[in-house]
Amino acid sequence: MSRLKKKKAHEKEPNLERWLVSYADFITLLFAVFVMLYAMSIVDQKKMEEVQASIQSSFSGPQTLTPALKVIGNKDFGLIPEAVEPPVPVQSQDEAAAAAEAQEFSQIKDDIQNNLQEYGAKNEVQLTVNERGLVISLKEAGFFPSGTARVQPDALPLLDKIAISISRHANTLRIEGHTDNVAINSPAFPSNWELSTARANSIVHYLIEKHGFKGAKLSVTGYAEYRPIADNASEAGRKLNRRVDIVMLSRKGAQGEALKFDGE
């Protein structure tokens, strides 16, 4: 009977929260996976820029023929070099056109110089190629009597040779008159302004009337004594300053003329 009276052992209650342990483990593992994926996807941008700059500086020499390397990847997987073609310096169209134009002016200069040597008038004309174009300087001693604006007859054959050489080209021409700093005061020319402009006009009229140059391609300027190429303190310098320049304008020089005209 004592055994019957003995109380039955108390049964344990079922643990209904055991699933939380597995769920927490799963969430922790999932979080770890996302952290790893995030870390793998981040590129050390500063480090990449330093590596790219180092590689570009190594392959930027003028004689380097080896293709440059483009670096891709990240800090976790390492750097993956990808071969790409190095940039080829291309001459701009303006630079190429300017170089071709300068070469053309040099050829015209050589042509005129050959004619001058045949004519025996090398010292009466000075030729210069610069940014403005081809400058053909006609010295007063060879073309104009002192104090006058009419081209002397002996100089006309030489002027014809120059006109023929430049007439083959469509460049705009600017005729510029210059004097020294010795003042002139006559009924025809009250100052050096009138004298320099009149001499330039004489050349323009001759080019139009004798050689058929188009007026739209010509312009006239008188600078008096204010554009010297030599020191007016000596007779030799004043002799060089007394001149008429025929300027065969380059494209850049012609654009400057157009801008000046529009501004006026």
Q: CATH 3.30.1330.60 spans which residues of the chain?
A: 93-263
Distance CA 160, CA 188 (A): 27
Radius of gyration for the alpha carbons in the chain, expressed in angstroms and rounded:
43
What pLDDT, on the 0 to 100 scale, is given for residue 263?
A: 47
Each residue's pLDDT tens digit in the chain (264 positions)? Answer: 455 455 555 556 666 666 677 777 778 888 887 777 777 666 556 666 776 777 666 656 554 444 444 555 554 545 555 555 555 555 677 788 888 888 889 998 998 888 777 777 767 899 999 989 999 999 998 899 989 999 999 999 999 999 999 998 999 999 999 999 999 999 999 999 999 999 999 999 999 999 999 999 999 999 999 999 999 999 999 999 999 999 999 988 887 665 554 444
* Token representation of residue 102: 């300068």
Of 247, 208, 209, give the one whose Cα is nearest residue 227: 247
Using DSSP's 3-state secondary structure scheme, residue 186 falls into coil
Angle at 154 between CA 225 and CA 152, to 5 degrees: 40
What pLDDT, on the 0 to 100 scale, is given for residue 8?
A: 54
CA 99 to chain centroid: 11
Distance CA 173, CA 176 (A): 10
Considering the four listed CATH numbers 3.30.9.10, 3.40.50.970, 3.30.70.20, 3.30.1330.60, the one that applies to the domain covering 93-263 is: 3.30.1330.60
β-pairing verdict for 78-84 and 133-139: unpaired
Predicted TM-score of the model (pTM)? 0.63
The dihedral region occupied by 133, where left means phi > 0, alpha psi between -120 and 50, and beta the remainder, is left
Distance CA 199, CA 221 (A): 10
Distance CA 126, CA 178 (A): 14
What pLDDT, on the 0 to 100 scale, is given for residue 149?
A: 95
Distance CA 263, CA 256 (A): 10
Contact (Cβ atoms closer than 8 angstroms) between residue 42 and residue 10: no
β-pairing verdict for 243-249 and 173-178: antiparallel
- Sequence-distant (6+) residues with CB within 8 A of 109 are 127, 129, 134
Distance CA 18, CA 24 (A): 10
Strand (E) or helix (H) holding 176: strand 173-178
Angle at 217 between CA 211 and CA 223, to 5 degrees: 100
What pLDDT, on the 0 to 100 scale, is given for residue 114?
A: 85
